[in-house]
């Protein structure tokens, strides 16, 4: 399961990077069109916002699974292996709860906005498209955090390296 989640999150992060490049190219094209030809693309802000938001939430799961998030080593280094594993289990469990809650509330909000037919202000992108990467990223992140919590509990109880 670890390998599958790693692959999924890796592809997600790559997709996020491609979308971020899309945001950069969209912004650059708009600036060049404005400076060189005196016109602007309609909806650049809507598109860039969607691409940047999607990029962030598609990349978060990879940060979780590679443990690239911020850690306070000064505090945790004072504990032994099992103590650090217990702290890691608690942190991963809290990550699971928080990301699942974000995903759940995002899903409810997206459903409401889809029901009302909300669209972006400039070019009318359905707002639900802004929620899809948020819900996906939160769901995948909570699944990864749950798996990491299980690994840390295993290490806390048995002192083993990991489940993989």
Rounded to whole angstroms, the Cα distance separating 113 from 111 reads 6
Closest CA to 121 of 55, 66, 47: 47
What is the average per-residue pLDDT within 118-134? Answer: 94
Rounded to whole angstroms, the Cα distance separating 131 from 104 reads 11
Tokens representing 8 are 């999924």
State pTM to two decimals.
Answer: 0.85
**17-56 residue pLDDT tens:** 999 999 999 999 999 999 999 998 899 999 999 999 999 9
Q: Hey, what long-range contacts does 99-105 have (CB within 8 A, 24 or more apart)?
A: 99/138, 99/139, 99/141, 99/142, 99/145, 100/138, 100/139, 100/142, 102/134, 102/138, 103/134, 103/135, 103/138, 103/139, 103/142
Average per-residue pLDDT for the chain: 90
In the structure, what pLDDT confidence band is assigned to residue 71 with cuts at 50, 70 and 90?
low
Tokens representing 85 are 């594993």
**90-108 residue pLDDT tens:** 989 999 999 999 999 999 9
What is the average per-residue pLDDT within 114-127? Answer: 93
């Amino acid at each position: 399961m670890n390998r599958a989640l790693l692959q999924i999150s890796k592809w997600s992060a790559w997709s996020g990077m491609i979308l971020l490049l899309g945001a950069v190219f969209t912004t650059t094209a708009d600036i060049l069109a404005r400076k060189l030809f005196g016109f602007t693309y309609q909806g650049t802000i809507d598109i860039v916002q969607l691409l940047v938001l999607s990029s962030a939430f598609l990349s978060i799961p990879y940060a979780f699974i590679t443990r690239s998030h911020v850690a306070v080593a000064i505090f945790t280094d004072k504990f032994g292996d099992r103590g650090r594993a217990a702290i890691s289990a608690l942190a991963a469990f809290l990550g699971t709860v928080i990301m699942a809650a974000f995903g759940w509330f995002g899903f409810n909000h997206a459903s409401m906005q889809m029901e009302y037919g909300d669209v972006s202000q400039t070019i009318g992108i359905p707002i639900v498209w802004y929620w899809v990467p948020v819900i996906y990223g939160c769901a995948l992140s909570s699944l990864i955090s749950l798996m990491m919590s299980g690994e840390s509990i295993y290490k806390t109880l048995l002192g083993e390296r990991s489940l993989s």
